[in-house]
Amino acid sequence: MTFAVAAAALCACGGGGSGASPTPSRTATAAPPPSPSPPPPEPTAPTASAPPGTSGPSKASDRCRTDGLKVRISTAGPAAGQRFAFLTLTNTSGAACHVRGYVGMLLLTASDHPIKTNLERLSPPGPQTVLLRPGGSAYARLQWTVVPGEREPAHGACAPTPGLVWITPPDERAHLAVAWNQGVVCGGGHVSTTPLRPGPAPR
């Protein structure tokens, strides 16, 4: 904390007359009390800096646009009947921008035919604003089942195998297309996703 200290100047003025001056009588003058010393400035806490490209203290930024992002989908560890993947958005523009919330998703066959996709938004944790500096990333975790649902065939493929997926960034209308190499999605195309978090995605 910075303290403004006002310094007061003390001026003593005297006068003289003509002729011999009698010995002046001495009048006791009370000395002004000493000015209190200003308190020392408080130490300034160091500013925490975020890793390059991730969220952290920064000036306001615009929302990330689809044409300034690229998307990648990487496999995460499977569980019994369940599959997981990380979806990563990376800022490829030359300026900082931010994302907040959930992506949109549509699965398609390799020949671009849409496949039923039912995207579920998981919460908590709730959405948070993630700052993406140039080259910075945000990620979400995807989860789906490979176990056929009640109305799906128990033998053979439960649904067409996706070969492509369209990803729409939060609050955008245009999508990004990326190959889907994660296999079939059962359960009526049900995929759950977390909100975007500061990246990069865990390995």
Answer whether 142's CB lies under 8 Å from 102's CB: no
**Average pLDDT of the residues in 83-97:** 97
Q: What is the residue-averaged pLDDT of the chain?
A: 79
Per-position b or e across 116-147, b if 16+ CB within 10 A of its CB: ebebeeeeeeebeebbbbeebbbbbbbbbbbe
**Average pLDDT of the residues in 157-182:** 97
- pLDDT for position 59: 52
- pLDDT for position 154: 82
Cα–Cα distance, 194 to 172 (Å, whole number)? 18
Q: List beta partners, residue 84.
A: 143
Take residue 25 and report the two structure tokens written for it. 């009588």
**Average pLDDT of the residues in 169-176:** 98
Is 46 a residue whose pLDDT tops 70? Answer: no
Is 162 a residue whose pLDDT tops 50? Answer: yes
Question: Which range, of 60-64, 97-101, 106-110, 145-149, averages the lowest pLDDT?
Answer: 60-64
Is 115 a residue whose pLDDT tops 70? Answer: yes
pTM of structure: 0.71
Residue indicated by tokens 């408080």: 42
- pLDDT for position 61: 83
